[in-house]
């Protein structure tokens, strides 16, 4: 069996690129995809801070833009040579949940690196993609040699752009909406872009890193609030005359939840796409109930949005790929984690 | 100043009807309403179990059907002699939130018995109703001498029917919906009726009191699940092949919340109208987030629904008043609390 290079995490802060077996077709619904671009996700930083030590390590990465190399006998919708987007949740495309646009709850699907599901990670030279017909979206007329900006924008469709879009979609952002986005990471910034595309009139971005919030302004933020906690809450309540109808929470830590509750307007919506790093939170009379606040969101079924978001990426109307401010070679993946963890980079693309 | 009889609570289980000053017009927007029917609410049982002892007591009651006796100089929409419904939240009718149908968040409004708001309770011979134009709904062509069944149905529009309706409305119940209602109290049963009116195809009622669940079947429940906890969850998941798209939670205790999380389908909605007797609850990946569950609901702006619900009550299409299985005189209010607390009565109407 041939070898490739792939990324594993072994403990807190311990990321290594090592030899791993080349992926092969195991099911007739599989495809093998050779990586054009992968990347490190903000959510990869959670295990980077907390993973128990493991001798075998965990295969990392759940975002991949690449070229189909081989397909199983039952694959119909993609062919060798196609440039494809693989969303972070793999899905069959035909079950009740896939048809409802909730591919993250697919009855046959699963997530990259989930041992029970049998996939490895995508921070590697190639990947086996189960359920290829449901999961993969070909990008017609574009090849792996497309320019860097376009490749980066296509890569956002695997996760961060679809996740920002999901936040806004679940909150029913529409023309005239007042929206506050908590978090100036890639997902928060693309939630700003999504809210803008959906017609929001006022978009307040809560974030403290000016390079990022400046990009947020380019994406459509009308106001930036750098304060956090009680001060940040007071600032947004002042700007919105009593609270924001929509809050998009793109962080996942408890202070961001508390901030959401503090700034949401009675009758408003908090839409979460930051993976919660807590299980319990205030939901009683004094937080959600009394003001008839709706709490929504979850892992984004980005596959549901790919076809809708692709045209504006291809014709250059939007450039979500600007969230990638660094590209490094695959061998430097550990450095990519460090750059993101130290906030020296917003989001790092990996080039095999 | 003349006296009337009114209900006060002084401590856990200590409810007394005593002399109290007759209400008088204090603001030009007030109305004085002479009670035709009041009642005890399920939510009144919360202080009945937990109220700290107080020498002055707390004025009780937030539901009243009565006849306008006198109005302030600025009141335009009701006149002396009108039979009126007063919802449990009093509201101005003109602010942003009232116009949006969220009268429970009215910027000028408040709740019965709230000392800061200056009202007493409605378990009394008469009540001062602030913000009469926004709060009161006249019932044209019906008088205080209408038959008992109609008076009871009109009385449900002050709270329990509108609250059940709110649960279904916030969950966007519509034609074909599968709905599970947790709780066989008056609000739960009227959530069943509301879901039926909104076109739900399948309505599962979770409750253990057969007299009540039988009424639930009359209101439209297609299935009854008597089990609670894990057993109840398993039964509903079995009936719904994996979970209920909509869960209407009409209890307010933590086990009902946990039951909601256990039975809701991925992508589904939990709509709460039972006043939460907890502040923190599970909302993380393993409860709400992972399945993209939406949590909604709150205190029902019943005033928003009165005009919509009234015609079917008046023409007899629906008979929500069947939730009243006892009527007692005002002097027996303490007994009314006991009957409801001991579950000897579902809901008790009070007749002055």
pLDDT of residue B118: 72
With cut-offs at 50, 70 and 90, classify the pLDDT of residue A2: confident
Per-residue pLDDT tens for B224-272?
A: 999 999 999 999 999 999 999 999 999 999 999 999 999 999 999 999 9
Tokens of A8: 């594993």
Domain A164-297: give its CATH architecture.
3-Layer(aba) Sandwich (3.40)
pLDDT of residue A171: 98
Which residue is closest to B104 within chain A, CA to CA?
A291
Does A325 score more than 80 pLDDT?
yes
Per-residue pLDDT tens for A239-270?
A: 999 999 999 999 999 999 999 999 999 999 99
Question: What single DSSP character describes residue A307?
Answer: H
Provide the 3-class DSSP secondary structure of residue B153: helix
Tell if the CB–CB gap between B266 and A97 is shorter than 8 Å.
yes
pLDDT of residue B119: 81
Chain A: give the shortest CA distance to residue B199, in Å. 20
Distance between CA atoms of residues B96 and B118, nearest Å:
23
The mean per-residue pLDDT over the stretch B48-71 comes to 95
With cut-offs at 50, 70 and 90, classify the pLDDT of residue A1: low
pLDDT of residue B185: 96
In a mutational test of the B interface, the residue from A99, A273, A277, A279 whose CB has the highest number of chain B CBs within 10 Å is A279
Tell if the CB–CB gap between B105 and A292 is shorter than 8 Å.
yes
Tell if the CB–CB gap between B292 and A296 is shorter than 8 Å.
yes
Tell if the CB–CB gap between A282 and B286 is shorter than 8 Å.
no
The H or E element that residue A245 is part of is strand A244-249
Q: What is the mean pLDDT of chain A?
A: 96
Domain boundaries, chain A: 3-159+301-351, 164-297
Distance between CA atoms of residues A249 and A263, nearest Å:
11
Per-residue pLDDT tens for A144-192?
A: 999 999 999 999 999 999 999 999 999 999 999 999 999 999 999 999 9
Neighbours of B58 (CB within 10 A): 16
Of B266, B267, B280, which has the smallest distance from its Cβ to A282's Cβ?
A: B280
Per-residue pLDDT tens for B24-40?
A: 999 999 999 999 999 99
Tell if the CB–CB gap between A283 and B275 is shorter than 8 Å.
no
Query: Where would I find the H helices in B33-184?
Result: 45-50, 96-99, 132-135, 148-156, 160-170
pLDDT of residue A113: 81
% of chain B surpassing 70 pLDDT: 100
Beta strands (DSSP E) in B107-262 are 110-111, 126-129, 137-138, 178-182, 202-206, 223-225, 244-249
- Chain B residues whose CB is inside 8 A of the A301 CB are 292
Tell if the CB–CB gap between A276 and B291 is shorter than 8 Å.
no
Per-residue pLDDT tens for B142-174?
A: 999 999 999 999 999 999 999 999 999 999 999
Tokens of B128: 């001062």
In a mutational test of the B interface, the residue from A100, A172, A267 whose CB has the highest number of chain B CBs within 10 Å is A267
Chain A: give the shortest CA distance to residue B133, in Å. 22
Per-residue pLDDT tens for A99-126?
A: 999 999 999 999 988 777 778 899 999 9
With cut-offs at 50, 70 and 90, classify the pLDDT of residue A215: very high
Per-residue pLDDT tens for A288-301?
A: 999 999 999 999 99
CATH of A3-159+301-351, one of 3.40.50.800, 3.90.1150.10, 3.90.180.10, 3.40.50.460: 3.90.180.10
pLDDT of residue B168: 98
pLDDT of residue A6: 96
Chain B: give the shortest CA distance to residue A64, in Å. 22
Does B1 score more than 70 pLDDT?
no
Of B281, B292, B294, which has the smallest distance from its Cβ to A283's Cβ?
A: B281
Q: Which residues of A sit within 8 Å Cβ distance of B?
A: 97, 100, 102, 104-105, 170, 266-267, 272, 275-276, 278-299, 301
The mean per-residue pLDDT over the stretch B109-121 comes to 82
């Amino acid at each position: 069996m041939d070898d490739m290079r792939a990324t594993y995490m072994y403990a807190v802060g311990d990321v290594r690129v090592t030899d791993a077996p080349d992926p092969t077709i195991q099911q007739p619904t599989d495809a093998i995809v050779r990586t054009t671009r992968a990347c490190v996700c903000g959510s990869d930083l959670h295990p980077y801070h907390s993973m128990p030590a493991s001798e075998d390590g965990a295969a990392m990465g759940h975002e991949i833009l690449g070229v189909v190399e081989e397909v199983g006998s039952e694959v119909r919708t993609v062919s060798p040579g196609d440039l494809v987007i693989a969303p972070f949740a793999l899905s069959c495309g035909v079950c009740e949940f896939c048809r409802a646009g909730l591919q993250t709850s697919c009855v046959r699907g699963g997530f990259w690196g989930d041992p029970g599901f049998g996939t490895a990670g995508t921070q590697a030279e190639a990947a086996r993609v189960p359920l290829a017909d449901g999961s993969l979206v070909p990008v017609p007329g574009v090849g792996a040699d497309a320019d860097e900006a376009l490749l980066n924008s296509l890569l956002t469709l695997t996760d961060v752009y679809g996740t920002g879009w999901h936040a806004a979609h679940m909150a029913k952002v529409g023309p005239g909406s007042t929206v506050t986005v908590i978090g100036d990471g890639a997902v928060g910034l693309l939630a700003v872009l999504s809210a803008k595309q959906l017609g929001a009139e006022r978009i307040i971005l809560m974030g403290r890193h000016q390079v990022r919030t400046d990009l947020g302004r380019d994406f459509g933020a009308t106001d930036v609030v750098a304060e956090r906690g009680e001060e940040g809450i007071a600032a947004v309540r002042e700007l919105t005359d009593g609270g924001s109808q929509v809050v998009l929470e793109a962080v996942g830590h408890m202070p961001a939840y508390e901030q959401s509750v503090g700034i949401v307007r009675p009758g408003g919506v908090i839409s979460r796409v930051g993976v919660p790093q807590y299980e319990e939170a205030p939901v009683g009379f004094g937080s959600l109930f009394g003001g008839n606040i709706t709490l929504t969101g979850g892992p984004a079924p980005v596959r549901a949005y790919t076809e809708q978001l692709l045209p504006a990426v291809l014709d250059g109307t939007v450039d979500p790929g600007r969230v990638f401010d660094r590209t490094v070679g695959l061998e430097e993946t550990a450095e990519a984690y460090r750059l993101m963890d130290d906030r020296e980079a917003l989001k790092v693309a990996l080039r095999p």
